[in-house]
Structure 1
Amino acid sequence: MPVIRPMALLAAMLAATGCATAPVPAQAGSGTIDAINHTHWAINRFSVDGRNAVDIIGPYQGGGGACCFAVPKQWRPGMTVRVDWQTGVGYSFDFPGYENREKYLEWKQKIHSQKRQHSKVVPVPNYSGQETCGITVHFLPCDQLKVTTSCLIYGNPNYPIKEPLKLPEPKSCPK
């Protein structure tokens, strides 16, 4: 049985995901595209500046994990990223099964009718003097977003975004 070396395995995994060959600016810090979902909706898919994340993120969960996202070595005022995402129903407790095709198709239509496409340009906070590790998108109620390039994990006392995971949904959202 062949011996698999950890570094060879890592190199193969990076090559398979495209990370090893992704064009990265010469003076950039790069890492993954991750997310924290603070809402009761599922995040069915999302991308940052056209780079897709890999996970569906359930309500009040984290995920993403796509490789690779690079930020310039030096932050500059007015820096932004574009986030595109789709929200949908987070749970399907009323799934009727497949036996009755009519009921199934009604249920499927109800689930699909609740999907929404979103797009927003978000400011990138000043990361001067800090190590950067890709980007983390925080999905907040009312289709609001915050992003960070911090290498700390959500929940760390020094993590820059302090919103609790389960944010209450307001009765109405500002326009």
Structure 2
Amino acid sequence: MKIRHYLVVLGALLLAGCSQPAAKAETRSGGGGTIVAINHTKWAINHFSVDGQSGIDAIGPWQGGGGGCCYAVPAKWRPGMTVKVDWESGVGGSKGFPGFADREKFKKWKKDMQAQNEQHSAVVPLLDYTGQKTCGITVHFMPCDEVKVTTSCVSPGRPGYPINEPLQMPEPKVCPK
């Protein structure tokens, strides 16, 4: 039930974003919308951006979020088109949180948590959107620090949505390089 509710909310965000004005850039003249993400990993996404535009929200493990406005792609797709996604991943929980009463314990816990954060960057191909309406961009964070993106106006989980991996994907013991 949580996944269904999540997909409805994400779909509403995507549709709402489609009515937003396109980003004001000469090369970005396609349909505009929000920057949202779906996290298929056990790690939190502390923050992320697409081509330098912030996705706004932090995203917990196996969740979705974002909401940065506005993102638009060029009106015409060309082979080789890419976007740059930057993000920080970290621990997706507060295990061992000592509370705030003992400041030294809290500072040590916070330092230990931050030590597990990792910075990532990927140049990701844009799927062909020729003949389709575009609605911002949805970033899918996958295991092994892989990223997929789509400009589709179709809601995740619906027929015609181009990225169909399950939300809770297991992380392999060894990631391909």
Same fold (TM over 0.5): yes
1:99 corresponds to 2:101: yes
CA–CA separation in structure 2 for the residues paired with 1:34 and 1:66: 7
Per-residue CA deviation, residues 33-86 of structure 1 (Å, 9 max, x unaligned), is 010000011111000001111111111001111110010111000000000000
Deviation at 1:93, TM superposition (A): 2.6
1:63 corresponds in structure 2 to: 65
1:4-153 equivalent positions in 2, closer than 5 A: 22-25=23-26, 27-153=29-155
Deviation at 1:21, TM superposition (A): 9.2
> Aligned in 2, Cα 1:173/1:82: closer, same or farther, shift over 3 Å?
same
> Aligned in 2, Cα 1:36/1:163: closer, same or farther, shift over 3 Å?
same
CA–CA separation in structure 1 for the residues paired with 2:125 and 2:70: 19
1:172 corresponds to 2:174: yes
Deviation at 1:27, TM superposition (A): 3.4
Match for 2:170: what amino acid? P
CA–CA separation in structure 1 for the residues paired with 2:22 and 2:163: 31
* TM-score between both structures, scaled by the size of structure 1: 0.85
Match for 1:79: what amino acid? M
CA–CA separation in structure 1 for the residues paired with 2:108 and 2:160: 47
* TM-score between both structures, scaled by the size of structure 2: 0.84
CA–CA separation in structure 2 for the residues paired with 1:123 and 1:86: 20
Runs of 5+ consecutive residues of structure 1 not aligned to the other structure? 1-18
Deviation at 1:22, TM superposition (A): 4.7
The 3-state SS of whatever aligns with 1:63 is strand
Match for 2:45: what amino acid? I
Equivalent pairs, count: 158
Give 4+ residue runs of structure 1 displaced > 3 Å after superposition: 19-22, 24-27
> Aligned in 2, Cα 1:73/1:31: closer, same or farther, shift over 3 Å?
same
Runs of 5+ consecutive residues of structure 2 not aligned to the other structure? 1-19
Residues 22 and 70 in structure 2, CA contact (< 8 A), matched pair in contact too = no
CA–CA separation in structure 2 for the residues paired with 1:168 and 1:47: 24
Per-residue CA deviation, residues 115-156 of structure 1 (Å, 9 max, x unaligned), is 111001000010001110010000000000000000011111
